[in-house]
Amino acid sequence: MAGETQTSTQSGELSQRFIEFVMMHAQNAALFLGQIPNPKTGQGEVNLDLAKMFIDQLEMIQEKTRGNLTPDETTVLKNTLSNLQMLYVEVAQSPKGATPRPPTSATPEPEPAPSTPAPPQPPVAPDEAESKKKFTKSYGS
């Protein structure tokens, strides 16, 4: 029983660290999308190349960890990526002098873990996966 408790505690700590990792990358992307003020200047600054780099890294993590994450980790990563990709498109399409929208959705707070496990996601058909890849890749091209 002690081994199970230790494994469960380690698993929870690793899950929390993974979510913190995702949030750290999201904050960096939000910084470069002008959503978080630069600590030195106090102004939001846009650098689409660096923002894209952090978004692409999160996308790579999502692909490489597919099937190995808890439902909470999967949800946080998926929602964070989706929000950042939409924000990237908004910022990239806005006029240069426009002020980006407030930073409310770029880095969502992780939701508390539900007491019952979420139902498993149905497998994605190859056609669906291919169309999702095309859709998610279109934000920066």
- Give the H or E element holding residue 110: none
Q: Higher confidence at residue 50 or residue 9?
A: 50
Q: How far apart are CA 38 and CA 111, in angstroms?
A: 27
First and final CA of the chain: distance in angstroms?
Answer: 52
More confident position, 98 or 135? 98
Higher pLDDT pick, 125 / 91: 91
Structure tokens at 3: 């081994």
How do the domains of the chain map onto residue ranges? 10-109+119-137
Beta bridge partners of 92: none
The predicted-structure confidence for 46-93, as pLDDT tens digits, reads as follows: 999 999 999 999 999 999 999 999 999 999 999 999 999 999 999 999
CB 71 within 8 A of CB 118: yes
The answer to whether 46 touches 91, Cβ cutoff 8 Å, is: yes
CA 51 centroid distance within chain: 12
Q: What is the pTM of this model?
A: 0.64
